[in-house]
Chain A
Amino acid sequence: MTNAPEITGETDIAPPVSSTGIVAWMRERLFSSPLNIIMTVLCGLLVIATLPPFIEWALIKAVWISPTADACRAARGGACWAFIAEKHRLILFGLYPYDEQWRPLLAALVNIALIVASCMRRFWNIRLLYIWGIGLVLISWLMWGGVLGLSYVENTKWGGLPLTLILATFGVGFAFPFGIVLALGRRSNMPAIKTLCIMYIELIRGVPLISLLFMSSVMLPLFFPEGFSIDKLLRAQIAIIMFAAAYIAEVVRGGLQAIPKGQYEAADALGLSYWKKTGLIILPQALKIVIPPMVSLFIAMFKDTSLVVIIGIFDLMNATKASLTDTAWKGFAVESYIFVSIIYFVFCFSMSKYSQQLEARLATGHKR
Chain B
Amino acid sequence: MASAHGTGIKPPARRLTWNDPTVRAVVYQVIALGLVAFGVWYLVSNTLHNLETRKIASGFDFLTREAGFAIGESPIYFGPENTYARAILVGILNTLRVAVVGIILATLLGTIIGIARLSKNWLLAKIASLYVEVMRNIPLLLHLFFWYALITEIMPGPRDALNPMPGVFISNRGIKVPSPTDHFAFDLAAGGFLLGLILSVVVAQWAKKRQERTGLTFPLMWSSLALILGLPLLGWLIGGAPTQLDVPVLRGFNFQGGATLTPEYAALLAGLVIYTAGFIAEVVRSGILAVSHGQWEAASALGFTRGRLLQLIVLPQALRVIIPPMTSQYLNITKNSSLAIAIGYPDIVSIANTTLNQTGQAIEGILVIMGVYLSISLSISLFMNWYNKHIALVER
* B-binding residues in A (CB < 8 A): 28-30, 32, 36, 39-40, 43-44, 46-47, 189-193, 196, 203, 205-211, 214-215, 218-219, 221-226, 299, 303-304, 306-307, 309-310, 317, 321, 331, 333-334, 337, 340-341, 344-345, 348-349, 352, 366, 368
Do A39 and B43 contact each other (CB < 8 Å), given the known contacts A207-B374, A208-B335, A321-B145? Answer: no
- Contact present for A211 and B349 (CB under 8 Å): yes
Q: Which chain B residue shows the least CB distance to A37?
A: B121
Docked CA distance A44–B126 (Å):
12
Q: Which residues B47-64 have CB closer than 8 A to chain A?
A: 47, 49-51, 53
Are the C-beta atoms of A219 and B366 separated by less than 8 Å? yes
Question: For residue A211, which residue of chain B has the nearest CB?
Answer: B369
Residues of chain B within 8 A of A193, CB atoms compared: 28-29, 32
B370 contacts A211, CB within 8 Å? Answer: yes
State which of B47, B142, B149, B353 has its C-beta within 8 Å of the C-beta of A222. Answer: B47
Cβ-closest chain B residue relative to A317: B141
Q: Is the interface of B mostly helix, strand, loop or mixed?
A: helix
Tell me the bound Cα distance from A210 to B335 in angstroms. Answer: 9
For the complex of A and B, 10 pairs with smallest distance between CB atoms? A348-B137, A333-B149, A303-B139, A29-B122, A208-B335, A192-B29, A218-B362, A208-B338, A206-B377, A43-B123
* B319 within 8 Å of A (CB atoms): no
Contact A344 B142 (CB under 8 A): yes
Across the interface, which residues of A come within 8 angstroms of B28, CB to CB?
190, 193
Cβ-neighbour of A349 out of B137, B145, B146 (below 8 A): B137
Q: Mark B119-134, 1 if CB is under 8 A from A, else 0.
A: 1111110010000011
Closest to B376 in A: A206
Number of A-B contacts (CB under 8 A): 152
Interface readout for B315-338 with A: 1 if CB under 8 Å, 0 if not?
000000000000000000001101
Q: In this complex, which of A193, A210, A221 has the most chain B Cβ atoms within 10 angstroms of its Cβ?
A: A210
Q: Is the pair A196, B349 in contact by a Cβ cutoff of 8 Å?
A: no
Report the separation of the CA atoms of residues A331 and B150 in the bound assembly, to the nearest whole angstrom: 10
A175 CA to B184 CA, complexed, in Å? 58
Beyond A192-B33, A310-B341, A344-B138, whether A206 also contacts B374 by CB under 8 A is: yes
Residue of A nearest to B373 (CB): A207
Contact A303–B140 (Cβ < 8 Å): yes
Contact check, B124 vs A224: say whether CB atoms are below 8 A apart.
Answer: no
B133, A226: Cβ atoms under 8 Å?
A: no
Distance of A345 Cα from B142 Cα, bound (Å): 11
Contact A219 B362 (CB under 8 A): yes
Q: B139 near A304 (CB under 8 angstroms)?
A: yes
1/0 per residue, CB under 8 A from A, across B1-40: the answer is 0000000000000000000000001001100110010000
Contacts of A46 in B (CB 8 A): 127
User: Are A341 and B138 neighbours in the complex by a CB distance under 8 Å?
Assistant: yes
Q: Is the contact region of chain A dominated by helix, strand, or loop, or is it mixed? A: helix
Q: How large is the interface on B (under 10, 10 to 19, 20 to 34, 35 or more residues)?
A: 35 or more
| Distance from B35 Cβ to chain A, minimum over Cβ atoms (Å) | 10
- Point out the residues of chain B lying under 8 angstroms from A299, CB to CB: 137
A224 touches B142 (CB 8 A): no
Question: What are the residues of chain B within 8 A of A309 when measuring CB–CB?
Answer: 141, 342
Instruction: Specify the chain B residue showing the minimal Cβ separation from A341.
Output: B138
CB contact under 8 A between A306 and B137, given known A32-B120, A196-B32: no
The interface residues of chain B lying within 8 Å CB-to-CB of A192 are 29, 32-33
Q: Which residues of B contact A190 (CB under 8 A)?
A: 25, 28-29
Known contacts A206-B374, A307-B339; is-contact A214 B353 (Cβ 8 Å): yes
CA distance in complex: A190, B50 (Å): 36
Which residues of chain A are within 8 angstroms of B205 by Cβ–Cβ distance?
none
Q: Does B356 contact A (CB under 8 A)?
A: yes
A150 to B141, CA, bound (A): 35
Given contacts A39-B119, A219-B362, contact A207 B369 (CB under 8 A): yes
Q: Which residues of B contact A191 (CB under 8 A)?
A: 29
Q: Report how far A344 CA is from B374 CA in the complex, Å.
A: 30
A299, B278: Cα distance in complex, Å: 15
**B139–A317 touching, CB < 8 Å:** yes
* A208 close to B32 (CB less than 8 A): no
A215 to B146, CA, bound (A): 27
14 contacts between A and B (CB under 8 A): A43-B127, A46-B127, A190-B28, A196-B32, A210-B338, A211-B373, A219-B366, A309-B141, A310-B342, A317-B142, A337-B142, A345-B138, A348-B138, A349-B137
Partner of B149, one of A210, A310, A337, A352: A337
* Chain A residues near B49 (CB-CB < 8 A): 225-226
List, in ascending order, chain B residues with CB within 8 A of A366's CB: 292
The answer to whether B153 has its CB under 8 Å from any CB of chain A is: yes
B293 within 8 A of A: yes
Structural contact, A340 and B133, CB atoms closer than 8 A: no
Q: Does B201 contact A (CB under 8 A)?
A: no
B226 interface residue (CB < 8 Å to A): no
The 8 A CB mask of B335-378 against A (1 = contact, 0 = none) is 11011011000000100010010000011011001100110011
Within 8 A of A (CB), among B87-145: 119-124, 127, 133-134, 136-142, 145
Nearest to B154 among chain A residues (CB) is A334
Q: B46 at the A/B interface (Cβ < 8 Å)?
A: yes
Contacts of A44 in B (CB 8 A): 123
A residues in contact with B29, CB < 8 Å: 190-193
The residues of A that contact B374 with a CB separation of less than 8 Å are: 203, 206-207
Report the nearest A residue to B134, measured CB to CB.
A345
Set of chain A residues within 8 Å of B25, measured between Cβ atoms? 189-190
Give the residues in chain A near B133, CB-CB below 8 Å. Answer: 349, 352
